[in-house]
Amino acid sequence: DAGITQSPRHKVTETGTPVTLRCHQTENHRYMYWYRQDPGHGLRLIHYSYGVKDTDKGEVSDGYSVSRSKTEDFLLTLESATSSQTSVYFCAIRTGYEQYFGPGTRLTVT
Amino acid sequence: DQQVKQNSPSLSVQEGRISILNCDYTNSMFDYFLWYKKYPAEGPTFLISISSIKDKNEDGRFTVFLNKSAKHLSLHIVPSQPGDSAVYFCAATNFGNEKLTFGTGTRLTIIP
């Protein structure tokens, strides 16, 4: 258990509305990541952070933004949700080469 | 461009037999490889890893083999148990890279 929590765990929202997902860690890890998991695509990196206010894009960053104002919190925002963003979202932290994941947020955009 | 490939979307194995999950990669810069296991409605959990300086790493019932010349790694589970039924992802990275590249996953079903 890497001390990672995600909120909310489930969310249903309408197309065009903004959505923010939160990842919280308790062990002061420098690196934090946001992934989405979709059938046939595995885990794809959206954005990651290497410190407070330091973030970079992953392979599927379009339509998403992130913020990290405190070490323990990494927020993922969908500015205007679309149906293609229906997915399961996972947050992760890094220790050495390994990454450890949170329990996930299932997001449905109707 | 899929740099890490798991060509078998699913695999069924009898309980007690060996499960072999395969993974291929194309990026010759990768020098560290990981396997993750994922149950439904949970996050992926780290299972085992191997560095490119080794060709085998073992942890209990789990062994990972790396064939660098073929750019191929495999995860062996012996003996397979019902609790091993899950989706398995392989991932790869290299020294200095903060990111992991994941395969698309293989769903393993252990038949009692």
Taking only the tens place, the pLDDT of each residue in B32-62 is 999 999 999 999 999 999 999 999 999 999 9
Distant-in-sequence, close-in-space partners of B110: CB < 8 Å, separation ≥ 6: B12, B13, B14, B15, B19, B80, B81, B82, B83, B84, B85
How does the average pLDDT of chain B come out, rounded?
A: 96
Tell me, what's the pLDDT at A2? 66
Q: What is the per-residue DSSP string for B14-72?
A: ETTS-EEEEEEE--TT--EEEEEEE-TTS--EEEEEEETT-SEEEETTEEEEEETTTTE
Average pLDDT over residues B53-80: 97
Instruction: Please name the member of B43, B89, B93 whose beta carbon is closest to the beta carbon of A42.
Output: B89
Task: Please name the residue that has the structure tokens 């989706």.
Answer: B87
Name the token pair of A84. 């293609």
Average pLDDT over residues A70-88: 97
Kindly report the backbone phi and psi dihedral angles of residue A85, in degrees, each rounded to the nearest multiple of 5, phi listed first: -95, 5
- Given CA atoms A45, A106, A94, A53 in this order, what sign does their dihedral have? positive
Name the token pair of B65. 């083999």
pLDDT for A31 beyond 80: yes
Tell me, what's the pLDDT at B53? 95
Is residue A43 within 8 angstroms of chain B, CB to CB?
A: yes
- B64 closest CA partner among B102, B95, B86, B36: B36
Give pLDDT tens digits for B6-17: 999 999 999 999
Tell me, what's the pLDDT at A40? 86
Give pLDDT tens digits for A81-103: 999 999 999 999 999 999 999 99
Q: Which residues from chain B sit within 8 angstroms of residue A40, using beta carbons?
A: 9, 104
Is residue B93 within 8 angstroms of chain A, CB to CB?
A: yes
Is residue A34 within 8 angstroms of chain B, CB to CB?
A: no
- Given CA atoms B69, B17, B9, A9 in this order, what sign does their dihedral have? negative
pLDDT for B73 beyond 90: yes
Q: Which residues from chain A sit within 8 angstroms of residue B40, using beta carbons?
A: none
Instruction: Please name the member of B41, B99, B105 whose beta carbon is closest to the beta carbon of A48.
Output: B99
Average pLDDT over residues A7-30: 97
Taking CA atoms, what residue in B is nearest to A102? B43
Is residue A24 within 8 angstroms of chain B, CB to CB?
A: no
pLDDT for A1 beyond 80: no
Is residue B39 within 8 angstroms of chain A, CB to CB?
A: no
Q: What is the per-residue DSSP string for A48-84?
A: EEEETTEEEE-TT-TTEEEEEEETTEEEEEESS--GG
Put simply, the answer to whether B42 touches A103 (Cβ < 8 Å) is yes
Average pLDDT over residues A73-77: 98
